[in-house]
Structure formats: structure tokens, C-alpha cells
Structure 1
Amino acid sequence: MKSPKMGLIATAVVVALVAVVAMWFLRGGEKLTPVEPGKETAEALKDPALIAKGQYLTTVGDCAACHTAQGGVRFAGGRVVGTPFGDIPAPNLTPDKATGLGNWSFAEFYRALHSGVGKQGEFLYPAFSYTSYTKVTRDDALAIFAYLQSLAPVAQEARPLGLAFPYNVRNSLKAWRALYFKEGEYQPDNSKSPAWNRGAYLVQGLGHCNECHIARDSFGGMRSDQPLSGGQIPMQNWYAPDLSTQANGGLDGWTTKDIVDLLKTGQSAKGTAFGPMAEVVAQSTQHMTDDDLQAIATYLQSLPARPLVEAPKSPLDVSTMIKQGANVYAERCADCHGKDGNGVAGVYPPLNGNASVNEPTGINAIRVVLLGGFAPATAGNARPYSMPPFAQQLNDADVAAVVTYIRQAWGNKSPHVMERDVIKYRHTPVD
């Protein structure tokens, strides 16, 4: 039985959607990109060089992460993408004619990637990141299509859509698209270097970095005024940090080498990839060329400085908590991360100035203390050191205390966390 509060929320959502749909009609609606016959022949799609390029680009886009079920055939779908609005199954990308892309033309594929419109003209849910993929060039899209068409077909039906009303009404996406989607390929900035433009194209397009590294509103829309400024990843209970390397940015002080090292090996002098980012490094970025990694670093280092946000002063006296946390740290953490919080280069990541420690919510540090930290195994770091979980050794008060301590020790000046935060994430399923 639904609570009155849930009923009010649902009513508010419906009213808001109706209002936005009305606005959409008053503006004249959305002009969809038509499916135009292309010159791409079946023979052209078999070009080995084109297929190899497409394989690289699907790796850059980390397409397999969503389109492969655990233990399933790569790209055959079967995985369900959880959203705050319900579950959305990722489709089969193999060329099976009944359940995959076997009967798709390139024009239809390009329209899906570029415009977020399916084979039958239906709006696609933005769990498929067409909000970023729209920037992918037609030539790159053709290479991706050629690679996917070269795969062995796998028959695997898509799971049913798990969305409740009004989110299961695809036409309601007209309102969402009017607010949050701007169609268009990436346009190079001629005032910038080729490396900057390549990095911007990868980050904004196939890399779809903004899909995680930005805050979202109650409708799942992303802020357009400050991209890559950090945000909590929906349904995953991790915080993707701000990616600016300038003053007050999440990566303040990171060098090109720091960024490249993290993306290539999963570890740098400034920190280590844990959680969802570890999967991205393992499946995608470690396989990118050095030139592309350098280009990404060039672009990220051009992001603007962020405004200084002072940590709110707590009405609570947390001095006792910090003393307790210091004792826990000395007993459990200092041997690896050092009394000064600077870690051991190439082995244990620093906590002092660590973007994941200092993110606004404290989620990342809480989860790592509870569940452990597991860096990705990469060609450049085949046997990474991992951090053991402390969920069984530390109670909620100890975890809150030690996380608060490391977020306020040394040069860190982040808000404290509470026992209720620890309780919440202790009992949250691991994604």
C-alpha cells in the first residue's frame, strides 16, 4: 500500500510533467532527425581497418559495461540498469536478427546514437547516454556499427522494462528532452590545440564522463552550466568527484602525469581508482592510446577553477568524535597510509588531499572503510594492493569517527559524517 507521501510525490511528478509537455507543445515540439539512407554497403562494413577502429571506439565508450550481463556473452545485453525511476534493460548489440542489431541499418543505428530515437521511431530512455553520444561523429559511429556487426550473433531477448507510470510512457520523454537534451555532433574549437579538441571530444562524447561526474535534479537531468563538477551516481551510492584540476576543484593540483597514470594503471600519486571508476579503468581507459590519455588530461586541466565552498560549521561538538577517530586511525590505518596521511608512493594511496576522501558527502570514504578498497588489475599494475574491509571489525560509531578524522586531518577540511550515514551504507547492497 502506498504511503500518502509517495502519493503526493507521484502527483507532483505528473503535474510537473504535464506542465513541461504543455511547454514543449507551445514551443513547437521537437524536430527529429529523419532516417536517411546511407551509402554504407555491406561490403564497406567488412573493412578490417574500419572494424578495428570500431573495436577501439567501443572500448573507449565502455559499451560492454552496460550491454553485458554478469557471466554473459559480451555485448549480448541482459544487464539491467537501475535508475531512481525503475529498471531499464540494456539491449543486445550483437547482430542477431531477432533480438539484436541484425536487422538494423546504419542510418537507424546512427539516429539512436545521435538523436536517442529507436528503430521504430520510439524515444529511448536516457539511461542510454545519447545525451553524450550525440557528439560522436558519423564516421566514428559507422566504425562502431561495423564492429558490432562483425560480432557473432547471440540470441538473447531483452528483459521487460521495469518502470512505473508515468515513466513507462515514452511520450513523456518529450518533456525531458525539451529540458535536458541538445542534439549535435562535437564541433572543434579552432582556438584550442588538436590535443585539447581530441580530449574534449572523448570526454564529452564517447567517454560520457559527465553522465556520472555531475549532480542531477529530481527528474534525472544534468546541470548544463557547470559540467564535470561532481555528483552522486544514481543508484550506485558512490560520489564521482569534480574533475577540475584548478583551485578548489576535485582534482586540485593534479598533473597531467597524475591523470594519465590513474586512467592507465588505476593508481597515481594522488589517488587510486575504486568503486565504479575501477571498472571503467579495467574495461576502458587502460586500453586507450597514450595520445588519447594525454588529450583527456589536457582537456581536464583546462576546466575552470571552482568557487570556494566553506564546509558548514556543525552545531555539534565533534572534538570527541575526532579524538576517537584518531585512535582508530592510529590502530588500523596509519601503518599503510602514514601518520601524515600521505601513504606510500605506488603502493598505498594518500588520504591527505584525496579527492575521494574530500568529496562533499563522505559516501566514498564510508564505503571503502566498510567494504574495502579494490583497485583494478591493469597491464601497468597487474597486482594492485587492496584495502581490507572493516565492516566486521568496526562498529558504526568507530567508522563515523575515523572517516570524520581523515576528512578533517592534515590539510583536509571536509564536513564530518554521522553514525546514521554509516548505518545507511552498511546495509546498502553492493553494486
Structure 2
Amino acid sequence: MKTWRKLALGACVLAAAGAAWVWLMNGRDEVDVSAPFAHASGDAQVERGAYLARAGNCMGCHTARGGANYAGGLGIATPFGTVYSSNLTPDERTGLGSWSPAYFWRALHNGRSKSGRLLYPAFPYTSYTQVTRQDSDALFAYLRSLPAVVQPNRPNSLGFPFNTQAALAVWRALYFSPGVYQPQASRSAEWNRGAYLVQGLGHCAACHSPRDALGGPRRGLDLAGGLIAMQNWYAPSLASPHEAGVGEWKREDIVSLLKNGVAYGESGASVSGPMAEVVLRSTQHLSESDLDAMAQYLQSLPAGKADAVASATGPDPSSVPFDAPKAAKLYEQHCAQCHGEQGQGVPKAYPALAGNRAVTLAATENLVQMVLAGGYPPATAGNPRPFGMPPFVLVLDDSEIAAVITHLRTSWGNQASPVTPMQVQRMRGRQAP
């Protein structure tokens, strides 16, 4: 047999083996939508589903700005194009009106639509697969109780080959493994409840985990921190004590941060950016017992795993021109009134900058975003009138913003790499119009 024929035959065999492997990986733990299942019903089931929908922040993605709640149409930008969320209201033609609880369960558990087509992981079924059938049915009962809205689903805008089912099947074979959360017998019921909420409905790993070039989570680094694609916010590690790890915090401070958006204890922490939206729409509505369970789980995360991920590599300080007197003057003019001459902040109002982990993060995206665009913690029952920060995007130029941020990162005992005007310029260009 000629060499080229052998090579062609070998390539065909490899292709067939690869296709078989992808097919097998995508067929694991498939839901039989025709199998009978005992369903709870009534007002209590709907109320429970409403609570679970808040825990999963379902409305946040399935409601377009100015649109009806849960009617979909929100564009979710990804590095591969835009995915539009679907209509979850019980409209027969454009929503979930023709779905059964089993079809909905399959969507959460297997990431498949009613027709069996593979769903894009912008819908975080990679986390939702851990949700139990009972919770899935309660969620479905709640969604069925909503007013039906006629709103056809928008087609996704993805480039080739990412718009194909074949490419999606390969991605799932590499990164997705279906399976309901299995409680750890060696842990308490509260810890397992917290793990279930964080890993499953809360889908915290969707933002707080590093991803590779294909958008897949890097194995073994769940919750170790990562840049949120297309949003230009860094979701810090929930394990590392140098980022957002809470292993040494008091439990009540963690609960306060998730419930109120601020923690007035020793941490003096507050949330901003995408996390402010999570607190506003989701975690502030959870019960104290569930928040305490989540806090217990987060405190148990091993810190060593998180430190294996380098958030960013800052520039060599010696290579960055820095006018310290000018930077100090800018801080005095624009920042000291709220944050204090020594970066000490104002208790229960403006956060301290001295010793603040958000200031000294290796990844500087969040700090630059806050100085450019400003922001507020969420308005919550426990903090109804949050103190915010004004935007400086039209007040300071790139070199001035870089100088004042570098001042924050190198003063009052803070030791972090400088920020360059180029870094600020890149972030300024990514600001929403």
C-alpha cells in the first residue's frame, strides 16, 4: 500500500475514533424525557421556585434592558460572538409553554433544548447540572406561573465554526461532565448546602475561574479567579488570601457582604462591578441560613490552589516613569476628601485604600474601571443609600489616572506594581458608550 494511502487511512481511523469519543461524551447521563417522575405542585412549590430563581439570578440574564421580566433577548457578549438569552415565560410559541418539567430538567442537567439541540454554555449548565431534579421542577413551576410574553428568541450571532453543533459538541466533550451535586459525607449539612449553592445555582465559577483560549475552565482551578470575558472585570480568587479569600474573616462579615453589599467589620469590604449586580438581584434575597452555609463553604476553600494562578504580570517598576509629587497632588485634589490623607477611608462610608486587597490586586482592571467610570455598591435593605464614587473619565487623562492609581498601589504600606498610561488607555477604549 502506498504511503499516502496509509496516511489517509490512518487519518480516517483517527477522525472516526475522535467522532465516536465526542458522541460518547455528549451522551453521558442523558435525561429520558418520557420517564415518569413525581412532581410537587401548589403555591408552596411556586414560592420555592421563585426563591431558587433568585438564588440563580435567572432574571439577570433572561431580561433585556427595558424588556419584560424573563422574556429573554439580552445579548451576552463572548469572545466568539453574541449569544441571546431565551424567553422563559410560559408562552406556547416563543417561550416554555410547550415544555414539560422533564425538558426543563434536561436543559439544566444536560444543556439541551426541547428539540435536543446543544445549548451554548453562556447558559451556565456546566454549573446548573449540579441542581437536583426537585429544585429543577420547582424552578419550572415558578416560571410557568409567570405572565406569558410573546417574544421570539433572537438568533445568536456567532462566527464559524463556533455557530455549529459540531464545534459545540467538541467543546462539551472537552469541558462538560453532567452530574447532580453529591454531598460529602465527611462534611456537615450546612457545608454541603453552601457547596451546592456556590457550585450549582450560584454558578460562582462561571466568573471566578480562569479560562483557556477556547473559553473552557482550566481544570482544578475552580474559583481561583479569572478575567470576565468581554466585560473587562477581574473576578478575584475566592480562595487566595491575597485576593478575595475569606478564610480568616468572621462568618458574619461574609454574610453581610453577600446580603448587604458591604461588610463593616474588620474587613471593611464592599462589592462593585458585576458582583454588585449579583448582590442586588440575587444574594440579598437569600435566607440567613443559606448565606451562612455559603460563607462556611467559602471559608473552607484551600488557599494553596488559588496561589497557583497568576492574575496578571505588572510592568517593571523601574521602566515606568512616575512623578511621585504630581501623583500625590492629584490624590490630594481628587481623592483625599473621601478616602483620607493617609488612605484610611471613612468607616461605613468610603473604603480605606491602605491595606486594601482590591487596590493591590495583581490584575489592575477593576481599579482602572472604578476610577474611569465610578460606581456604587448595590442598594440593599441593609445598605439602602450606599456611598459611591464619581467617574473621572472626563476629568483626568490617561497619564494622570495612571499616576494616581500607582500612588494608591505604592503608598501607606501598599506594595504593588505601577499602572501605565497604556493600560488606562486600553480600558478607556473598552468603556461602554
Conserved? CA contact 1:21–1:174, under 8 Å: no
Task: For residues 293-333 of structure 1, give each alpha carbon's deviation from its aligned partner in whole angstroms, at most 9, with x where no partner exists.
Answer: 11111111111123387976716344734443322222211
> Distance between the aligned counterparts of 1:146 and 1:372, measured in 2?
40
**3-state secondary structure, aligned to 1:320:** coil
Conserved? CA contact 2:320–2:420, under 8 Å: no
Partner of 1:251: 245
**3-state secondary structure, aligned to 2:296:** helix
Partner of 2:277: 279
Amino acid at match of 2:293: A
Partner of 2:168: 173
**3-state secondary structure, aligned to 1:81:** strand
> Distance between the aligned counterparts of 2:299 and 2:357, measured in 1?
15
> Distance between the aligned counterparts of 1:350 and 1:77, measured in 2?
39
Partner of 2:102: 107
**3-state secondary structure, aligned to 1:239:** strand
Partner of 2:32: 35
Which of 191, 194, 197 aligns to 2:192? It is 197
Shift, 1:220, TM fit: 0.3
**3-state secondary structure, aligned to 2:83:** strand
> Distance between the aligned counterparts of 2:399 and 2:243, measured in 1?
30
Partner of 2:10: none
Partner of 2:350: 348
Partner of 2:157: 162
Shift, 1:258, TM fit: 2.3
Q: Give yes or no for the alignment of 1:264 onto 2:259.
A: yes
Query: Structure 1 residues 105, 183: CA separation in 2 closer, same or farther (over 3 Å shift)?
Result: same
Partner of 2:392: 390
Partner of 1:14: none
> Distance between the aligned counterparts of 1:57 and 1:227, measured in 2?
22
Conserved? CA contact 1:70–1:79, under 8 Å: yes
**For structure 1, which segment, 284-293 or 345-354, has the greater mean C-alpha deviation from structure 2 after superposition?**
345-354
Amino acid at match of 2:300: S
Conserved? CA contact 1:21–1:175, under 8 Å: no
Query: Structure 1 residues 330, 365: CA separation in 2 closer, same or farther (over 3 Å shift)?
Result: same
Long gaps (5+) in structure 1: 1-18
Amino acid at match of 2:414: N
Partner of 2:127: 132
Query: Structure 1 residues 376, 21: CA separation in 2 closer, same or farther (over 3 Å shift)?
Result: farther
Conserved? CA contact 1:203–1:209, under 8 Å: yes
**3-state secondary structure, aligned to 2:136:** helix
Partner of 2:7: none
Conserved? CA contact 2:398–2:424, under 8 Å: yes
Amino acid at match of 1:374: Y
Partner of 1:290: 288
Amino acid at match of 2:270: T
Conserved? CA contact 2:76–2:82, under 8 Å: yes
Task: For residues 186-235 of structure 1, give each alpha carbon's deviation from its aligned partner in whole angstroms, at most 9, with x where no partner exists.
Answer: 00011111111111000000000000011111100011212111111011
Shift, 1:96, TM fit: 0.3
Which of 57, 74, 78 aligns to 2:73? It is 78
The sequence identity of aligned pairs, in percent, is: 47
Q: Give yes or no for the alignment of 1:372 onto 2:381.
A: no
> Distance between the aligned counterparts of 1:355 and 1:134, measured in 2?
33
Conserved? CA contact 1:45–1:51, under 8 Å: no
> Distance between the aligned counterparts of 1:378 and 1:134, measured in 2?
30
Q: TM-score, normalised by structure 2?
A: 0.89
Amino acid at match of 2:159: A
Shift, 1:247, TM fit: 4.0
Partner of 1:304: 302
Amino acid at match of 1:392: L
Partner of 1:428: 430
**3-state secondary structure, aligned to 1:267:** coil
Which of 414, 417, 432 aligns to 1:415? It is 417
Amino acid at match of 1:351: L
Conserved? CA contact 1:92–1:156, under 8 Å: yes
Shift, 1:40, TM fit: 5.3
Conserved? CA contact 2:355–2:413, under 8 Å: yes
Shift, 1:164, TM fit: 1.0
Q: TM-score, normalised by structure 1?
A: 0.89
Conserved? CA contact 2:243–2:358, under 8 Å: no
Q: Tell me the matched-pair count.
A: 410
Query: Structure 1 residues 112, 404: CA separation in 2 closer, same or farther (over 3 Å shift)?
Result: same
Task: For residues 50-69 of structure 1, give each alpha carbon's deviation from its aligned partner in whole angstroms, at most 9, with x where no partner exists.
Answer: 11000000000000010001
> Distance between the aligned counterparts of 1:350 and 1:317, measured in 2?
28
Query: Structure 1 residues 312, 21: CA separation in 2 closer, same or farther (over 3 Å shift)?
Result: farther
**For structure 1, which segment, 23-32 or 124-133, has the greater mean C-alpha deviation from structure 2 after superposition?**
23-32
> Distance between the aligned counterparts of 2:76 and 2:280, measured in 1?
19
**For structure 1, which segment, 267-276 or 349-358, has the greater mean C-alpha deviation from structure 2 after superposition?**
349-358
Conserved? CA contact 2:377–2:387, under 8 Å: yes
Query: Structure 1 residues 190, 202: CA separation in 2 closer, same or farther (over 3 Å shift)?
Result: same
Long gaps (5+) in structure 2: 1-13
Partner of 1:186: 181
Query: Structure 1 residues 404, 156: CA separation in 2 closer, same or farther (over 3 Å shift)?
Result: same
Q: Give yes or no for the alignment of 1:92 onto 2:87.
A: yes
> Distance between the aligned counterparts of 2:323 and 2:262, measured in 1?
31
Shift, 1:173, TM fit: 1.3
Partner of 1:7: none
Shift, 1:345, TM fit: 1.8
Amino acid at match of 2:316: S
Partner of 1:242: 237
